[in-house]
């Protein structure tokens, strides 16, 4: 049984003058062999789950990558580029089209509470509150036959967008945060966004995320009797923004997808869209491979440049998921074989040698199995690529077997 032991707190002399730091030391008896074995068994179960998940990630990633690449090739072969502000043509209806034009919305977005109005696709109100934040740093050590953990807690006041529950602090007294925000953060989206003669689908509008901070210096000043104070690009709900207190609130605004014809805060955003023309709306286009093409870039690009970027994004995502799948497999194998380390961890020299050997074993096996899994995803589509990957997968095994007879001879 693991004993909690005693909990010791450092004397008041170790506290800072503002009582924003303290250290707590906990101790427990060292776990026995059976306890360590039990903890390792729990890690083994987790390792099996990660090991199985890695196969799923690696195998499905190859099918997704090939399907996406095929869909992009299909889209590039069918896409029709439309001229700026061209009228919807009947013979392009239900076909994949490419269009480059400025964004356009009918009405500006408002926040009447702060007298903010911007003609854009999205307007975001970001609320922050001045709150206590707890930071902790721990170190483990052995002393007097016990395992001890020394944790140092620091408390700072910072502007935070999320509500921090001070009840979870190690020392709540003197570090109490309000239980709710006085103002809520919100993002407003215009109901109708147009590019040339077409309206954009919700999926295209959702991709417009190029938020930029709204500069407040050109906006009307708040009323003189208002409790708001403007400092730089924030509305402060306090008369002393440079000396905030816990619970004070500040608000900033950002916008995405400028769509107005005026000069403030800038010209309309030019976008390049690839989607299906459905009367006067641009909608998702389903390829023969089953993928959806609904692409928007917030710059002026030709159809060829759009698909080239999508192919690059697909390649980057493919390699990222391959790396993630290999990491899951490496962690899974390491956790599954950790029980071997536990069996010999009472022998210092043997413990270090076994630990190094297990890491090398997990590295070699995870690399080989990852390559084999990736190759199995290609075997029905690109047989030559699959054969090459299988050959690479067996290299660590061949090297290990070639070294074994030499060691035996010695």
- Domain assignment present for 21: no
Q: What is the pLDDT of residue 1?
A: 34
State whether 215 and 356 are in the same domain: no
Check whether residue 247 and residue 294 sit in a common domain: yes
| Assigned token pair, 286 | 């389903």
Q: Which of 24-28, 144-148, 251-255, 339-343 has the least mean pLDDT?
A: 339-343
Of 52 and 22, the structure prediction assigns the larger pLDDT to 52
Q: Of all residues in the chain, what percent carry a pLDDT higher than 90?
A: 46
pLDDT at 138: 86
Residue 12 has pLDDT above 60, yes or no: no
Cα–Cα dist 130/203, whole Å: 36
Query: Among the three residues 240, 275, 301, which one is the final residue of a domain in this structure?
Result: 301
Asked if the structure places residue 188 within a domain, the reply is yes
pLDDT tens per residue across span 379-395: 765 666 656 666 766 67
pLDDT digits (tens, 9 = 90+) for 234-259: 999 988 888 999 999 999 999 999 99
Task: Please tell me the predicted confidence (pLDDT) of residue 91.
Answer: 78
pLDDT digits (tens, 9 = 90+) for 307-348: 999 999 999 999 999 999 999 999 888 888 776 656 656 556
Which pLDDT tens digit goes with each residue over 97-108? 999 999 999 889
Q: Give the domain-ending residue among 239, 266, 301.
A: 301
pLDDT digits 0-9 by tens, 182-241: 899 999 999 999 998 899 999 999 999 999 999 988 776 666 556 788 888 999 998 888
Q: How far apart are CA 342 and CA 260, in angstroms?
A: 66
Q: Is residue 355 part of a domain?
A: yes
Phi, psi dihedral angles at 102 (to 5 degrees): -70, 150
Total domain count, the chain: 2
Q: Quick one: which of 227, 228, 230 has its CA closest to 216?
A: 230
Q: How far apart are CA 183 and CA 50, in angstroms?
A: 42
Q: Return the higher-pLDDT residue of 394 and 13.
A: 394
Q: Are residues 64 and 88 in the same domain?
A: no
Residues 63 and 94 in one domain: no
Residue 23 lies in a domain: no
Residues 94 and 127 grouped into a single domain: yes
Q: Do residues 210 and 324 both lie within one domain?
A: no
Per-residue confidence (pLDDT) for residue 11, from 0 to 100: 31
Q: Does 86 share its domain with 64?
A: no
19: pLDDT strictly greater than 60: no
Q: Are 300 and 126 in contact (CB under 8 A)?
A: no
The answer to whether residues 292 and 344 belong to one domain is no
> Who's near 27: CB < 8 A, 6+ residues apart?
5, 6, 7, 8, 143, 146, 147, 148, 149
Q: Within this chain, do residues 290 and 362 fall inside the same structural domain, yes or no?
A: no
37, 89: one domain: no
Q: Residue 201 has what pLDDT?
A: 95
Residue 320 and residue 370 share a domain: yes
Chain-centroid distance, C-alpha 67? 24
H or E element in which residue 173 lies: none
- Residue 323 structure tokens: 């790396």
Residue in 73, 98, 33, 32 with CA at minimum distance from that of residue 272: 98
- Read off φ and ψ for residue 394, nearest 5 degrees: -90, -5
Residue 308 included in any domain: no
Is 124 contained in some domain? Answer: yes
pLDDT of 252 reads 95
Q: Which of 123-132, 133-142, 398-407 has the highest mean pLDDT?
A: 123-132
Q: Are residues 88 and 234 in the same domain?
A: yes
Domain closes at, from 301, 327, 345: 301
Span 21-47, average pLDDT: 66
Q: Count the helix, strand and coil residues of the chain and give each as a percent rounded to the nearest 5.
A: 40, 30, 35
Q: Which domain holds residue 208?
A: 80-132+153-301
Q: How far apart are the first and last CA of the chain?
A: 47
In sequence order, the β-bridge partners of residue 81 are 98
């Amino acid at each position: 049984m693991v004993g909690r032991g005693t909990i010791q707190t450092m004397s008041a002399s170790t506290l800072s003058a503002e009582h924003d730091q303290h250290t707590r030391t906990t101790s427990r008896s060292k776990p026995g062999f059976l306890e360590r074995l039990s903890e390792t068994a729990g890690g083994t179960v987790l390792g099996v789950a990660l090991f199985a998940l890695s196969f799923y990630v690696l195998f499905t990633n190859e099918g997704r990558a090939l399907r996406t690449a095929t869909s992009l090739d299909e889209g590039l072969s069918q896409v029709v580029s439309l001229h700026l502000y061209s009228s919807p043509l009947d013979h392009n209806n239900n076909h994949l089209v490419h269009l480059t034009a400025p964004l356009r919305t009918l009405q500006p977005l408002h926040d009447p509470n702060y007298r903010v109005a911007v003609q854009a696709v999205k307007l975001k109100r970001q609320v922050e509150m001045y709150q206590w934040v707890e930071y902790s740093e721990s170190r483990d050590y052995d002393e007097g036959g016990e395992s001890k953990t020394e944790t140092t807690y620091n408390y700072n006041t910072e502007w935070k967008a999320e509500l921090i529950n001070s009840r979870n602090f190690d020392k709540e007294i003197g570090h109490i945060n309000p239980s709710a925000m006085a103002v809520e953060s919100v993002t407003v989206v215009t109901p109708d966004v147009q590019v040339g003669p077409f309206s954009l689908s919700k999926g295209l509008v959702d991709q417009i995320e190029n938020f930029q901070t709204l500069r407040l210096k050109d906006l009307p000043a708040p009323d003189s009797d208002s409790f708001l104070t403007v400092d730089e690009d924030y509305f402060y709900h306090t008369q002393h923004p440079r000396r905030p207190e816990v619970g004070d609130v500040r608000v900033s605004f950002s916008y995405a997808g400028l769509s107005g014809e005026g000069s403030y805060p800038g010209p309309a955003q030019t976008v390049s869209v690839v989607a299906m023309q459905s009367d006067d709306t641009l909608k998702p286009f389903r390829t023969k491979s089953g993928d959806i093409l609904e692409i928007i870039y917030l710059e002026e690009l030709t159809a060829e440049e759009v698909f080239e970027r999508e192919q690059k994004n697909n390649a980057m995502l493919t390699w990222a998921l391959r790396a993630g799948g290999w990491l899951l497999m490496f962690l899974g194998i390491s956790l599954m074989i950790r029980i071997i380390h536990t069996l010999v961890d009472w022998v210092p020299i043997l413990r270090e040698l076994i630990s190094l050997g297990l890491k090398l074993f997990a590295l070699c096996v995870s690399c080989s199995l990852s390559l084999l899994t990736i190759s199995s995803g290609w075997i029905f589509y690109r047989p030559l690529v699959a054969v090459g990957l299988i050959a690479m997968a067996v290299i660590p095994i061949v090297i290990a077997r070639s070294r074994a007879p030499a060691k035996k001879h010695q």
